[in-house]
Structure 1
Amino acid sequence: MKILLMEDDAVLSDILLDFLRETWSVDYAFNAQEVYEHLETKEYDLFIFDINVLGQNGLELLEELRSFNNTTPTIFITAYRDTESLKKAFEVGANDYIKKPFELEELSVRIYNTKRLFNIETDKYIQITQNITFNKEKKKILKDKKEFSLTNKDTLLLAYFLNNKNRLISNEELSQNIWDFESQPSNATLRSHIRTLRELIGKEKIITIRGEGYLYE
């Protein structure tokens, strides 16, 4: 399942991204403008929008998206606790609503409920080659009818490459999107993860661009 998260609180966004990316493919937007930039090239199964962001707020953004016939299921995050805000959220097209502060597990329950209500398919394998498929949620690769388990980081790395095919990705970009700020990997650690993936999916799929980064083909 592909999720787009809009949240302008740096601390909360880091926490949510770390949590959500353990299970799903998640892109991040700081504000409405960045949401539209993502939507120019990608489609999503679920939006998670904070209402209280700078500039165009979550309510205004969703109302505008619905006017463009975008029907992507949406969960709002908000600090508002009044009934009027709740009413407005559903009027503009929200499908669910979670109030701060909340437990991460509560958000997970709401995501799974939205998945169930909208029949969003998440348990599926992505074709990598004719004989190799990848399931992010199970953290497994199926190769020649044999299953191979992946670590969490290897899973996130492969998913990131698959979402950014034929684009040069620097070591810094991979580190910032896969690891949290306090546990940034060394280049040797990153190379070790890349080597593991190459052994499973083929050396030709992840190309090293010396001094610049990697390219997934």
Structure 2
Amino acid sequence: MHILVMEDDPVLGDILVDYLSELYTVDHAYHSDEVYALLDKNSYDLFIFDINVVGKNGLRLLQELREFSYTTPTIFITAYKDTKHLTQAFEAGAHDYIKKPFELDELQARILNLKRIFNLDQQTSIQLSSDLVFNPKTKTIDKENQTISLGQKNTLILEYFLKNKARIISNDELMQNVWDYDSLPSEATLRSHIRDIRNIIGKEKIKTIRSEGYIYE
């Protein structure tokens, strides 16, 4: 499981990263600009955001991400004790909320709960069919005794489809969850990526739903 932590306190940030890195793949951002830069390069299974950070706070950041169709499960961590911020966190799209100070074991329990609810089990390889194995970490597919390179964007696109099987995904949702919000591609570019993936895994796996988007079956 790949986790993105946004925490501007360097001490707490290091503690969280050290602890979580023993169990998961973890990236650390100090503020929202770094979050967007990392989202341009990586796909994440879970966000852990502090609310009160320098610049754009965690609430505003998550609101923006939800508007851009990021559905990634999110836990807020905060020193606020009032119910107002708790309410705002859930209104912004959070799935859980933990108040400082907290035990690391409590955070892990909350992560495991979301992992169970959203089926976030980490997989080093994914069997797509009897003769296709997808390796997200190496960005490759093993097919008929050969290894085919997917590249960064095609890997992120395929990962997103696999996390949202049997659900129609619009072009906007797909682009906003794979590309940085400042560099969204044209629909022609997206179609080109879909075509490349289909040529590797088979045209029947990703179906086009006219005027709505795509579905992975």
Q: TM-score range by the shorter chain?
A: 0.5 to 0.7
**Could you say which residue in structure 2 is the equivalent of 1:26?**
45
AA aligned to 1:51 is: T
CA RMSD in angstroms, aligned pairs only = 3.8
AA aligned to 2:182 is: E
Relative distance call for 1:163 and 1:184 in structure 2 (3 A) is same
Identity of aligned residues (%): 42
**Could you say which residue in structure 2 is the equivalent of 1:148?**
148
**Could you say which residue in structure 1 is the equivalent of 2:97?**
61
Relative distance call for 1:92 and 1:51 in structure 2 (3 A) is farther
Cα shift at 1:127: 0.9
The size of the alignment, in residue pairs, is 155
Q: Is the 8 A contact 1:25 1:159 kept in 2?
A: no
Please, which runs of 5 or more residues in structure 2 have no aligned partner? 8-29, 49-57, 63-72, 109-120
| Structure 1 stretches of 4+ moved >3 Å | 2-7, 11-15, 20-25, 27-31, 47-50
Distance 1:4 1:207 in 2: 31
Deviations 1:5-54 (A, max 9, x none): 689xxx945632552674554355876xx9xxxxxxxxx8xx76442687
Structure with more relative contact order (C-alpha pairs < 8 Å, separation 6 or more)? 2
Scaled by the length of structure 2, the TM-score of the pair is 0.57
Scaled by the length of structure 1, the TM-score of the pair is 0.57
Distance 1:23 1:136 in 2: 11
Cα shift at 1:175: 1.1
Distance 1:152 1:174 in 2: 14
Distance 1:91 1:2 in 2: 18
Q: Is the 8 A contact 2:153 2:178 kept in 1?
A: yes
Secondary structure in 2 matching 1:175: helix
Secondary structure in 1 matching 2:134: strand
